[in-house]
Structure 1
Amino acid sequence: MPRLTDARKELRRAQITEAAVRCFSRNGLERTSIADITAESGLSNGSIYAHYRSKADLVQASAHAVLAKRAETLGDYAASDTPPDPDELLARLISAIDPAEARVGVQTWGEATTNPAIRGIVVDTIDRMRAMVHDCVMAHLVKVEHLDPAEAQEQVIPIAERLMALYLAELLRTSLQSSTEETES
């Protein structure tokens, strides 16, 4: 049997992660089994376990995949000559929320209250997202508002904290709204 190239391995991991997100969104973290993810991905159990040791690894990979999407977007915003102002940044982040990913995120938060491994994933993901929002707001304050970096540093933390709180609240709202819409269908 031919060996998988690194690029092919990454594609396979992404295929598995995307299948896991769909299953977690539909069935919940607790009720999703590796067999469910296997069926959803169209791969074998062996292929799943060749890439991930456990469901917790899949939860972590799912969280990091979602974060990677936001990181690319936020990095582009921060690198821009005219990064968006905080209101526009929040609007863009909210418009990019995927309802399935929001449901998985909220389920992961719930699981984090009792599972230390999942708690670590959630804390790390939110901390990394907060740092990216901080960098984007800082770039706006310096490049667009023309504040001295020291002055911008004084202002950036409360702004970034508010943006994160509003973004996380919107994730919760989206997850509840999309869940309600599906049960009414």
Structure 2
Amino acid sequence: MARVSQEHLDARRRQILDGAARCFARNGFHGTSMQDVLKEVGLSAGAVYRYFSGKEDIIAAITEETFAVIRGAFEEAARMTPPPTPDALLSRVLGGVLSGQVHGLERRIFAALVVQLWSETLRDERLAALLDEGYAIMRVAWGKLVDAYRAAGILSSDVPGDHVARTMIATAQGFIVQEALFGDVRPEVLENGLCGLMSITPQKIS
């Protein structure tokens, strides 16, 4: 019997993940059954269970992959020299991630899937651990960006770097939530808004 190539195995796994993601994006995790996934991908139960033990295993794989896509985009931007300022960086990275049609989904549908993944971590310890790991890595990456901003003389040293990192991550999350809820959240709006906020001169409160 001829051996199945790794390329074939990878393609079949990709087929399952993309099909399941479409189902989850349409009907939610709890509104989607394994039968729905099997119908979507056009495979037998045996073929799917060769790769995943069940729906929870598929959800975990999609979660890990989706977080990795977002995290990887920021880590790549952090390696740029000199690094782009936060307004340009967030606009570039999030615009690229959402327009990249991850899992073959349109940007608003993909954003909705990300929000569902976040909410699912509140009830699933396995997914929560994946999110915690990704969040910690993102904070480290942003911390390096903060160091680069300070070295370039464009950021003062009186604000803890981790505070800046967490605020920028929250901004990115808010952008994704807005896209999921309302759609048509253009990257240039985010960039212009952040640029405007960054230009405000701090006022002392007497």
Q: Which residue of 1 aligns with 2:74?
A: 74
> Which residues of structure 1 form unaligned runs of 5+?
179-185
Aligned alpha-carbon RMSD (Å): 2.6
- 1:155 & 1:142 partners in 2: Cα distance? 10
Q: Which residue of 1 aligns with 2:145?
A: 140
* Bigger mean CA offset, 76-85 vs 14-23: 76-85
The offset of 1:177, in angstroms, is 1.9
Q: Which residue of 2 aligns with 1:101?
A: 110
When you count helix as a share of all residues, which structure comes out higher? 1
- 2:168 & 2:126 partners in 1: Cα distance? 22
Q: Normalising by structure 2, report the TM-score.
A: 0.70
Correspondences of 1:166-185 after superposition (within 5 Å): 166-178=171-183
Q: Which residue of 2 aligns with 1:182?
A: none
The offset of 1:68, in angstroms, is 2.4
Q: Could you list the per-position Cα deviations for residues 94-150 of structure 1 after superposition, in whole angstroms to 9, with x for gaps in the alignment?
A: 32233222212222333333x3xx243145225414523541x334334454169xx
Quick check: which has more Rg, 1 or 2? 2
- 1:143 & 1:177 partners in 2: Cα distance? 34
The offset of 1:93, in angstroms, is 3.5
- 1:5 & 1:160 partners in 2: Cα distance? 43
- 1:144 & 1:172 partners in 2: Cα distance? 27
Aligned length: 171
Q: 1:120 to 1:163 in 2, by over 3 A?
A: farther
Is residue 2:22 matched to residue 1:16?
A: no
Q: 1:93 to 1:62 in 2, by over 3 A?
A: same
Q: Which residue of 2 aligns with 1:49?
A: 49
Q: Which residue of 2 aligns with 1:37?
A: 37
Identity %: 25
- 2:72 & 2:121 partners in 1: Cα distance? 26
Q: Which residue of 2 aligns with 1:7?
A: 7
Q: Normalising by structure 1, report the TM-score.
A: 0.77
- 1:157 & 1:80 partners in 2: Cα distance? 20
Q: Which 4+ runs in 1 deviate beyond 4 A?
A: none
Is residue 2:137 matched to residue 1:128?
A: no
Q: Secondary structure at the residue paired with 1:83?
A: coil
Q: 1:13 to 1:43 in 2, by over 3 A?
A: same
Q: Could you list the per-position Cα deviations for residues 31-58 of structure 1 after superposition, in whole angstroms to 9, with x for gaps in the alignment?
A: 1111221222222221111101011111
- 2:94 & 2:58 partners in 1: Cα distance? 25
